[in-house]
């Protein structure tokens, strides 16, 4: 199997370049994941850098661009990728080294939508009540792992990563807007109502296509827009 | 970390622009077939002037003229939101405001021009 | 180049190392109390391994079945095979209900019952009324409870504006001239620059070290960094022979298949189709303690009743459950089975085998979160300025075997408690920043990894780590005996030798992951020694430590905690606390499920 991997070391390289690695099929099994292959390549080339941690798709460390699509390497089976695999860092954010990008802007956007519950005062004797129906509104939003695959596939985010919240942050925003326990509902809607926030989304749907957890940020943003039109 | 885009139209919320764009789209969706239908029912017209004359002498022409006036205004609104978004997205960061000003001036000229054409065609003084 | 002792220094009221659930809960408390803290994490906080916890967090809320914290305490002590400290377990179980309501208040999206209260599921080893009917005590957010808790705690830290040092690696603890811990040397992984973070209060929350075993449910970051730092600073580790093998890991790969699967009604079957747990735990079957179920599976496979071409796994079957239960309460498990086994558990059983999951041992602490070490006279004394919480700590609330759902509880209860201890101390004695720290040992360590390879050796950090994992799996697995462990100890000495000689080949500064792996490997090797040394000495079977040559529990000689010191691999022991403050003592008795 052939791997064309984008390399870049800021201490020695002017610009990223591609390096080709070969792995013998005998080193891999039918159910090997892309991350397994990367570990093997790192044995050949210890300076190859990529993030990874849980190796089962819940920590969100190992987002990368695989054959043109943003994915998590640990839950991407080699069998679906063909004989030549092209790996690049997630697009649209600065590259730190090889497949590692600087996600600072992504996190800044996340933090800017106030992604935290503001509930009524804490009562240590009773939890806040929430019906199963109210709780089910959080499904499809709270599962986000902040891997960045969505926002780094979003053209609106590419143009203005310092302005536009991006799909991940807006998905989080929607999660708190619809959480029945939150008391800042209207304030949240007002803050999201700027030409550079929610309504900058043009529903290109790259985010939904890219999400490795099968979430649908585009739909969530659509819902957010409807809620804002109805309630503001 | 956050740079300020300082868009002068920021006073107009995303939501209001969104609502105007939707409303105008819905209006134009109904107006366009209506206009087509009205024109096909007219006797054949040799020129734009004759077409305008025929249109302005329809029964209920006042209703038609009002509908058309609203359609022109909403078309401008619709285009305004769309192109504004494109400028915010794609114009170089430093000149976004310049482009928006140029664009708004262009829209105002277009509006004045449309009124003049209407007066000319429909013969109001 | 070599390192000298001039590093940029920053000072803080308190330093939290590790941004999992424990560290994040502590940081939240300290920031809320107005202290200037630094939260140091080698990964972005939400990548910490708490994120992978699935089943839930135990608290006697009594939302589904009647419940009392006293019953929870009894189950935890029994589950620990009576090695857990009863005062600490009592404290944790008493705090549980409040701490879970607090988590809910922080935004954790718990699954709900029809009456709007938090859903609680059945988990192994939980009973009503001191060992009677099955209790439903585990508060769950589908099967993503850890993710829900970690993200909510991070979000609340964003709300309060906690200072994070993301992607900074803590290399070693630093002591002042009086020999007190007073800071830590950290490396910015982004550019390879080192910094001294100086503070009178260092809270270690560095998590587990499951990477010491080949097959594990742990993330690759779980390399026991805090444990290595503590050993090098001259303090002991406690009960390192006790490693939990989770009964149901994906066979051959190790991903966790939550106990929630059995809690919701999943059955374990061998190649003959027998629901074999009836033989091993006739009353509670699949919901026995984890050590019991793990041994049962290992015995089935050892006796030739495993499934597959190599007869090396058993089946976990949930195909008889209604589809809604699987899609609503076990969606993550379904996803893992589909991704890694190509199996949809709605239709086909999951292939499982025990896999290393949790370290019951760790840095010895008291209930207040302070690290405890024997003084010259052998009296257990708090180490000034050093605290530990979560999986890296051993309070000990899990004893010889942890109950499912008690880990997420442990991290938040003691995360908050340790932060309050530090807060009180800071109120009484504000932090002073006029300290000289001794950097000589850590500089030697940094310089050692600058050594270039001038031999023909092609040994590597990765290869040594792999060999270490094999040795540990072979020598200290589910079943142990004197000969294999002795053999493992000798092989570890070979590993130590190789570690001292190996060189790295990458000397760059930006995201140098080879250097990072080298630092981590040093920690893993110390943990290997701690485990094998402690396990060799304990001549009994208790909880997760099952010896084929000493099959019975021996309360007369071994109802005590092991303390391992790195220097000459020395062991000492300390008694188990059998006197809770409010409840009457629970006397050790045979453990039957």
Chain C residues closer than 8 Å to A10 by CB: 510
> What is the predicted pLDDT for the residue at B3?
43
- Residues A172 and A189: their CA atoms lie apart, in Å, by 13
What pLDDT, on the 0 to 100 scale, is given for residue C467?
97
Nearest CB among C47, C102, C106 relative to A59 is that of C47
Contact A163 B13 (CB under 8 A): no
- Contact list, A92 vs chain B (CB under 8 Å): none
Cβ-count burial C279-314 (b if 16+ within 10 Å, e if not):
ebbeebbbbbbbbbbbbbbbbbbeeebbbeeebebb
- Mean of all residue pLDDT scores within chain B: 80
> Does the distance separating the beta carbons of A124 and C101 come in below 8 Å?
yes
B9, B13, B86, B97, best to mutate vs chain A, most A CBs in 10 Å: B13
Percent of chain A with pLDDT over 70: 100
Does A40 lie at the interface with C, CB-CB under 8 angstroms?
no
Residues on chain C touching A49 (C-beta within 8 angstroms): 510-513
Residue of chain B whose alpha carbon sits nearest to that of A224 = B15
Contacts of residue C461 in chain A, CB cutoff 8 Å?
A: 46
DSSP-derived pairing of the beta strands C393-394 and C363-364: parallel
Angstrom distance (rounded) from CA C332 to CA A95: 31
CB contact under 8 A, A193 and B15: yes
Is the CB of residue B18 less than 8 Å away from at least one CB of chain A?
A: yes
Closest CA to C405 of C248, C261, C260: C260
Tell if the CB–CB gap between A108 and B2 is shorter than 8 Å: yes
CB atoms within 10 A of CB C323: 9
pLDDT given at position C417? 98
User: Cβ contacts (< 8 Å) between A33 and chain C: which residues?
Assistant: 340
Cα dihedral A145, A149, A150, A151, rounded to 10, equals 100
Take residue C497 and report the two structure tokens written for it.
Answer: 């030798």
Cβ contact C219–A75 (<8 Å): no
C-chain residue closest to A122, CA distance: C105
Chain C: residue nearest A138 by CA? Answer: C109
A contacts of B18 (beta carbons < 8 Å): 199, 225, 229
Asked if the C-beta of B7 comes within 8 angstroms of chain A's C-beta atoms, the answer is: yes
Per DSSP, C592 falls in state -
Inter-chain contact B2–A194, Cβ cutoff 8 Å? no
C158 touches chain A (CB under 8 A): yes
CA distance C531 to C240: 5
Q: Is the pLDDT of residue B107 over 90?
A: no
φ, ψ at C317 (rounded to 5°): -110, 125
Instruction: Answer whether 0.80 is exceeded by the pTM.
Output: yes
Structure tokens at B125: 């003084």
CB spacing of C340 vs A56 below 8 angstroms: yes
Mean pLDDT, residues B118-124 taken together: 70
Instruction: Give me the residue spans of the domains in chain C.
Output: 247-355, 440-554
Q: Two tokens at C566?
A: 């790195």
Is-same-fold flag (C247-355; C440-554)?
Answer: no
What is the C-alpha separation between A93 and B1, in angstroms, rounded? 14
Q: What is the DSSP letter of C118?
A: B
The beta-carbon neighbor of A146 closest among C46, C107, C341 is: C46
Q: What percent of chain B has pLDDT over 90?
A: 15
Q: In this structure, what token pair is assigned to residue A155?
A: 């053209």
CA B79 to chain CA mean position, Å = 7
Q: From the CA of C358, how many Å to the nearest CA of chain A?
A: 15
Give the model's pLDDT for residue B120. 78
Specify the pairing of strand C193-198 against strand C181-188. antiparallel
What's B31's domain CATH number? Answer: 1.20.1300
C247-355, what's its fold?
Answer: Flavocytochrome C3; Chain A, domain 1 (3.90.700)
Q: Is B2 part of a structural domain of the chain?
A: no
pLDDT at residue B11 greater than cutoff 60: no
Q: Which of residues 538-577 of C touch A (CB under 8 A)?
A: none
Within 8 A of A114 by CB-CB distance, chain C residues are 159
Per-residue confidence band for B12, with pLDDT thresholds at 50, 70 and 90: low
| Cα separations in angstroms, A17 against A6, A42, A50, A101, C294 | 6, 17, 16, 15, 49
Residues of C forming the active site: 290
Whether residue B90 and residue A232 make contact (CB cut-off 8 A), yes or no, is no
Residue B1 has pLDDT above 50, yes or no: no
CATH hierarchy code of domain C440-554? 1.20.58.100
Under DSSP, the state recorded for B11 is G
Check if the interface score ipTM surpasses 0.95. yes
What pLDDT, on the 0 to 100 scale, is given for residue B51? 79
Q: Which of C90, C21, C93, C25 has its CA nearest to residue C61?
A: C93
Tokens of C15: 């330093």
Q: Which of residues 106-125 of B touch A (CB under 8 A)?
A: none
Q: What is the pLDDT of residue B125?
A: 42
pLDDT at position C5 is: 72
Task: Determine the pLDDT at residue B54.
Answer: 78
**Is some CB atom of chain C closer than 8 A to the CB atom of A230?**
no
Select from C21, C45, C163, C47 the least CA-distant residue to C106: C21
Do A and B touch, counting CB pairs below 8 Å (3 needed)?
yes
A156 to chain B nearest CA, in Å? 7
3-state class of A100 per DSSP? strand
Residues with Cβ within 8 Å of residue C452, at least 6 apart in sequence:
C503
Contact (CB<8Å) A199/B18: yes
**List of chain C residues whose C-beta atoms are within 8 Å of the C-beta of residue A128:** 104-105
Is residue C125 a contact partner of residue C287, using CB atoms and an 8 Å limit?
yes
Whether residues C98 and A124 touch (CB distance < 8 A) is answered with yes
Which residue in the block uniquely carries the two structure tokens 């310089």? Answer: C447
The whole-angstrom distance between A149's CA and the closest CA on chain B is: 21
Q: Do A59 and C102 touch (CB under 8 A)?
A: no
Asked if C147 and A10 come within 8 Å (Cβ–Cβ), the reply is no
Q: What is the 3-state secondary structure (H, E, C) of C97-111?
A: HHHHHHHHHHCCCCC
CB-CB under 8 Å, A111 with C508: no
For C157, name the nearest residue in chain A, comparing CA atoms only: A116
Say which residue the tokens 């309060």 belong to: C160
Which chain A residues touch C117 with a CB distance below 8 Å?
127, 129
Domains in chain A, CATH or no CATH each:
2-101 (3.10.20.30), 104-231 (1.10.1060.10)
Judged by 3 or more CB pairs under 8 A, whether C touches B is no
Nearest one of C203, C199, C200, C207 to C225, comparing CA atoms: C207
SS3 A17: strand
Q: Which of A75, A125, A132 sits opposite C339 (nearest CB)?
A: A75
Burial of A123 (0-12, 13-18, 19+ CB in 10 A): exposed
**Closest chain A residue to C341 measured between Cα atoms?**
A31
The beta-strand segments (E) located in C36-176 are 37-41, 57-58, 120-127, 134-139, 164-166, 168-176
Q: Do B89 and A195 touch (CB under 8 A)?
A: no
Per-residue pLDDT at B95? 86
**Ranges under pLDDT 70 in chain C:** 1
Touching subunits for chain A (3+ Cβ pairs under 8 A): B, C
Tokens read off for C572: 């000492």
Q: How many domains does chain B have?
A: 1
Residue B47's domain comprises 12-122
Distance CA C461, CA C464 (A): 5
Q: Tell me, what's the pLDDT at B2?
A: 41
Per-residue pLDDT tens digits for C333-370: 999 999 999 999 999 999 999 999 999 999 999 999 99
**Residue B123: predicted pLDDT:** 63
Distance CA C547, CA C549 (A): 5
Q: Residue A131's closest chain C neighbor by CA?
A: C116
- Largest distance between two CA atoms of chain A: 61
Look at residue B3 and tell me if it is in a domain: no
- Substitution target in C111, C118, C155 with the highest count of A β-carbons within 10 Å is C155
Identify all chain A residues contacting C159, using CB atoms and an 8 Å cutoff.
114, 116, 118
Contact B5 A108 (CB under 8 A): no
> DSSP H helical segments within A45-178, as ranges?
104-112, 132-136, 155-159, 166-177
């Amino acid at each position: 199997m052939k791997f064309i991997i984008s390399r870049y070391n800021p201490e020695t390289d002017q610009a990223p370049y591609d390096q080709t690695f070969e792995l013998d099929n005998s080193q891999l099994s039918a159910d090997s994941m892309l991350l397994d292959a990367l570990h093997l390549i790192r044995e050949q080339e210890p300076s190859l850098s990529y993030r990874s941690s849980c190796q089962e798709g819940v920590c969100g460390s190992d987002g990368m661009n695989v054959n043109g699509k943003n994915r998590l390497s640990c839950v991407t089976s080699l069998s679906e990728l063909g004989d030549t695999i092209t790996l690049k860092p997630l697009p649209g954010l600065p590259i730190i080294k090889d497949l590692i990008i600087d996600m600072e802007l992504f996190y800044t956007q996340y933090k800017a939508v106030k992604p935290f519950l503001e509930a009524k005062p804490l009562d240590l004797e009773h939890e806040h009540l929430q019906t199963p129906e109210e709780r089910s509104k959080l499904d499809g939003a709270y599962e986000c792992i902040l891997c960045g695959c969505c926002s780094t596939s979003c053209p609106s985010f590419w143009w203005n990563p310092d302005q536009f919240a991006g799909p991940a942050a807006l998905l989080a925003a929607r999660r708190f807007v619809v959480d029945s326990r939150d008391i800042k509902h209207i304030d949240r809607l007002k803050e999201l109502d700027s030409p550079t926030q929610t309504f900058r989304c043009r529903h290109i749907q790259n985010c939904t296509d890219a999400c490795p957890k099968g979430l649908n940020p585009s739909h969530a943003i659509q819902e957010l827009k409807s809620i804002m039109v109805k309630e503001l | 970390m956050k740079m300020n885009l300082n868009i002068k139209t920021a006073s107009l919320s995303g939501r209001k622009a969104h609502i105007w764009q939707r409303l105008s789209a819905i209006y134009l969706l109904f107006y366009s077939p209506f206009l087509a239908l009205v024109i096909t029912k007219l006797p054949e017209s040799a020129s734009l002037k004759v077409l305008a004359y025929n249109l302005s002498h329809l029964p209920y022409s006042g209703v038609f003229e009002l509908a058309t006036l609203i359609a022109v205004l909403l078309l401008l609104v619709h285009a305004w939101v769309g192109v504004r978004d494109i400028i915010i997205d794609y114009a170089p960061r430093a000149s976004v405001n310049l482009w928006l000003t140029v664009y708004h001036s262009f829209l105002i000229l277009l509006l004045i021009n449309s009124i003049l054409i209407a007066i000319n065609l429909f013969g109001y003084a | 180049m070599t390192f000298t002792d001039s590093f940029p220094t920053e000072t803080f009221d308190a330093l939290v190392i590790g941004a999992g659930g424990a560290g994040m809960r502590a940081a939240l408390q300290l920031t809320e109390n107005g202290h200037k803290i630094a939260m140091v994490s080698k990964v972005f906080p939400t990548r910490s391994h708490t994120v992978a916890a699935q089943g839930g967090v135990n608290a006697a809320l009594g939302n589904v079945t009647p419940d009392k914290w006293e019953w929870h305490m009894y189950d935890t002590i029994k589950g620990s095979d009576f090695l857990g400290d009863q005062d600490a377990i009592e404290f944790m179980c008493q705090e549980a209900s409040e701490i879970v309501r607090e988590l809910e208040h922080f935004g954790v999206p718990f699954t709900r019952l029809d009456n709007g209260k938090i859903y609680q599921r059945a988990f192994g080893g939980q009973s009503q009324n001191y060992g009677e009917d099955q209790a439903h005590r585990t508060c769950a957010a589908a099967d993503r409870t850890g993710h829900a808790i970690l993200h909510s705690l991070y979000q609340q830290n964003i709300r309060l504006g906690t200072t994070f040092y993301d992607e900074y690696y803590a290399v070693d603890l630093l002591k002042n001239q009086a020999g007190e811990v007073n800071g830590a040397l950290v490396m910015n992984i982004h550019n390879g620059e080192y910094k001294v973070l100086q503070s009178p209060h260092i809270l270690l929350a560095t998590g587990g070290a499951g990477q010491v075993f080949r097959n594990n449910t742990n993330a690759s970051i779980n390399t026991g960094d805090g444990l290595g730092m503590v050993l090098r600073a001259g303090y002991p580790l406690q009960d390192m022979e006790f490693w939990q093998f989770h009964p149901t890991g994906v066979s051959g790969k190790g991903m966790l298949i939550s106990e929630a699967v059995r809690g919701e009604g999943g059955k374990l079957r061998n190649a003959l189709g027998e629901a074999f747990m009836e033989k091993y735990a006739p009353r509670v079957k699949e919901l026995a303690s984890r050590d019991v179920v793990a041994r049962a599976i290992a015995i089935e496979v050892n006796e030739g009743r495993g499934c597959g071409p190599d007869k090396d796994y058993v089946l976990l079957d949930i195909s008889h459950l209604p589809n809604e239960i699987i899609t609503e309460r076990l969606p993550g498990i379904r996803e893992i089975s589909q991704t890694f086994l190509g199996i949809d558990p709605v239709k086909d059983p999951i292939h499982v085998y025990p896999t290393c999951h949790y370290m019951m041992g760790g840095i010895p602490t008291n209930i207040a979160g302070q690290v405890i070490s024997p003084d010259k006279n052998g009296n257990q004394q708090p180490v000034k300025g050093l605290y530990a919480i979560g999986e890296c700590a051993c309070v000990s609330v899990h004893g010889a075997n942890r109950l499912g759902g008690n880990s997420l509880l442990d991290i938040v209860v003691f995360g908050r408690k340790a932060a309050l201890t530090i807060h009180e101390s800071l109120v009484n004695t504000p932090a002073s920043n006029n300290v000289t720290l001794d950097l000589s040992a850590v500089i030697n360590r940094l310089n050692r990894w600058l050594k270039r390879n001038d031999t023909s050796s092609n040994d590597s950090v990765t290869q040594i780590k792999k060999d270490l994992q094999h040795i540990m799996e072979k020598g200290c697995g589910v079943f142990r005996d004197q000969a294999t462990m002795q053999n493992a100890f000798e092989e570890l000495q070979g590993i130590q030798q190789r570690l001292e000689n190996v060189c790295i080949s990458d000397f760059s500064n930006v995201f140098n992951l080879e250097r990072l792996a080298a630092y981590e490997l040093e920690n893993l090797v110390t943990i290997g020694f701690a485990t094998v040394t402690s396990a060799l000495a304990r001549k009994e079977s208790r909880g997760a430590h099952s010896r084929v040559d000493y099959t019975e529990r021996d309360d007369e000689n071994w109802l005590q905690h092991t303390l391992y010191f790195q220097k000459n691999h020395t062991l000492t022991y300390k008694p188990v606390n059998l006197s809770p403050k409010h409840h009457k003592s629970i006397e050790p008795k045979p453990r039957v499920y």
